[in-house]
């Protein structure tokens, strides 16, 4: 399959990133980080393009993308939400915060709302354990979240 879905600028960006790493397959993870930073996510077409540039099978790229939690094959919402499910947050009730976010948005973990505004993910520890339970929206940390506050916090982003 050719990269018919990708814009010329995306193709050029991927090519530049690979070239900056000397098209070295050993740099695959760093290349994927930079590509995801630039394009937002790593759809199959991008993975194939990376494989082509590095001269390795696309299966190897996909094997790496699907292995690591940090890489995503789907686009995120405009405001990505992450709920911390690290132990410190968990014992202070972050599972209940997660349930409430799911209720309010009507989506499951890993999904994006139909309007594309929010996407929901879990992560393990942002390191603000003193504020547990925490959630992050657009990278901003919200601490000591009570499930009752969830709706109000989200409304500010709509």
Site of interaction with another protein (CB under 8 A) = 24-30, 32-33, 60, 63-64, 67-71, 85-92, 123-132, 134, 141, 143, 148
Two structure tokens written together for 28: 């695959």
Three-state DSSP at 63 gives helix
CB of 11 to another protein, least distance (A): 21
CB of 71 to another protein, least distance (A): 6
Closer to another protein by Cβ: residue 68 or 157: 68
Closer to another protein by Cβ: residue 14 or 132: 132
CB of 8 to another protein, least distance (A): 27
The CA distance from 6 to 100, in Å, is 37
Contact 63, 74 (CB under 8 A): no
> What's the N-to-C CA distance of the chain in angstroms?
38
């Amino acid at each position: 399959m050719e990269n018919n879905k990708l814009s010329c600028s995306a193709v050029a960006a991927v090519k530049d990133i690979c070239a900056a790493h000397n098209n070295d397959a050993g740099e695959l993870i760093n290349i994927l980080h930079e590509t995801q930073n630039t394009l937002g996510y790593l759809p199959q077409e991008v993975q194939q393009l990376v494989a082509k540039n590095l001269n390795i099978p696309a299966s190897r790229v996909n094997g790496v993308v699907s292995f690591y939690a940090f890489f995503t094959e789907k686009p995120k919402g405009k405001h990505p939400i992450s709920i911390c499910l690290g132990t410190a947050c968990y014992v202070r009730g972050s599972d209940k915060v997660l349930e409430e976010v799911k209720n309010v948005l009507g989506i499951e973990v890993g999904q994006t709302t139909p309007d594309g505004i929010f996407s929901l993910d879990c992560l393990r520890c942002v390191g603000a354990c003193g504020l547990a339970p925490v959630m992050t929206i657009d990278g901003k940390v919200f601490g000591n979240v009570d499930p009752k506050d969830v709706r109000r916090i989200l409304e500010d982003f709509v």
